[in-house]
Amino acid sequence: MHDLTDPAVARRVRMLKIGAAQVVIAGFTRVPEPPRYIDGCETINLGRTEDGRMLKRIGSVVSASFRLEQLHQALSGCSVVLARNLEMLVLATRARRRYAPKAALVFECLDIHRLLLRKNLVGRFLRAIETALVNQVDLILTSSPRFVSEYFKPRNFNRPIEILENKLLLSDYEAGRTNQPAQLGGPSWKIGWFGMLRCRRSFEILSSVAGRANGNLQVVIAGRPSPKEFPDFRNLVAKVPHVKFLGPYGFDELPALYSQVHFSWAVDYFEQGLNSAWLLPNRIYESVFFGAVPIASEGVETARWLAEKKIGVTLAGEPELALCNIVRSMTDQRYRQLFDALQNIPIVQLADTTESCRQLVESLQNIKNPERYR
């Protein structure tokens, strides 16, 4: 795993366990004291990395590649080696070849790093490494069809590809989905920006509009700010009126978080036109499930997903102006229409069930079945 403290890692572990898999986790960490166990599964710490610092991450991978013996016991007898992100695939490929040559190798691609898309020598070098590694995998898992159409197919990878969306785990939320608005109508309208916080442009838009809206817009932020993009996020937020930061949160806090807001910010300019335009973030599944109307940017995969389901609102044109217009024109009746539309989306499109977890594990176990892809 690329980051043992990433909540998405814990969710994937729970999903595999629900599907009756036995899981051992190996990965890097970005904190001084990484967890020894994730959801009851033992972890193997491969070293320290830092968010956004690709050269340091490469150095950590090189260092870990000389300490693969610590994976020997974990890989002995395993049937599947699952690598999340490219740096983990480097290690997984070598470790599988050395300690579990009969195991299937699965590459779960979470995003496409901007360095891979460069036309210069660095980009060509990294793509060459990626091609050599991907040619050895038995299956590619990715979370958005746009990654397939915009990246994998143009690269002519000939490996099987399956979509595994960033849905919730239904078993995590016994109370089920929200079917009544937790918030009264506005104004003041409230937008929640939750998750990995790495988009400075999003913060600028939200704080600018909140500051100009005369109290008609409040912004609630929670999650883990990127240290590279936001070295002192709390202090930054403290200077902006009508914006508050609640800090990191656990998956069990999601219902309470979304109950505080009318809308969910599902806009990402971090790698505009590239990865940010292609991904389907977990916050769109969360917000629909918990009854917050998602806001997306025109022309990206998230907006297509919302339009296909006839839900949410889209920012067209200059984003500050578009958001100002949404806030200014929003009425209780219009908000109720937007909220009610969320209820038309079946739960299985938002959350993985026990059955879908079992299907995933069975699918991984049958990767090398020649009948699978006929």
CB atoms < 10 A from the CB of 320, how many? Answer: 15
Residue 41's DSSP bridge partners are: 38
pLDDT in tens, 233-257: 999 999 999 999 999 998 889 999 9
What pLDDT is stored for residue 207 in this prediction?
95
What pLDDT is stored for residue 303 in this prediction?
96
Tokens of 329: 């024109």
Which band of pLDDT confidence, cut at 50, 70 and 90, is reported for residue 260?
very high
What angle do helix axes 319-329 and 200-212 make, rounded to 10 degrees? 40
* pLDDT of 374 above 60: no
What mean pLDDT, rounded, does the chain reach?
Answer: 88
Q: Looking at the whole model, is its pTM more than 0.85? A: yes
CA of 345: how far to CAs of 205, 256, 356, in Å?
Answer: 29, 21, 17
What pLDDT is stored for residue 106 in this prediction?
96
Residue in the structure block whose two tokens are 């998405």: 8
Alpha-carbon distance 4 to 112, whole Å?
20
* pLDDT of 174 above 80: no
Q: What percent of the chain has pLDDT over 90?
A: 59
Cα 19 → chain centroid: 21
Assess contact for 142 and 161: CB atoms under 8 A: yes
What structural domains does the chain harbor?
A: 7-167+353-365 (3.40.50.2000), 172-349 (3.40.50.2000)
Q: Rounded to 5 degrees, what are φ and ψ at 211?
A: -70, -25
Alpha-carbon distance 3 to 197, whole Å?
15
pLDDT average, residue stretch 150-157 = 91
Kind plus residue range of the DSSP H or E element containing 140: strand 139-142
pLDDT in tens, 5-35: 888 888 999 999 999 999 989 888 877 677 7
Contacting residues for 291 by C-beta, under 8 A, at least 6 apart: 177, 178, 179, 180, 181, 182, 258, 259, 339, 342
pLDDT in tens, 92-113: 999 999 999 999 999 999 888 8
* pLDDT of 66 above 50: yes
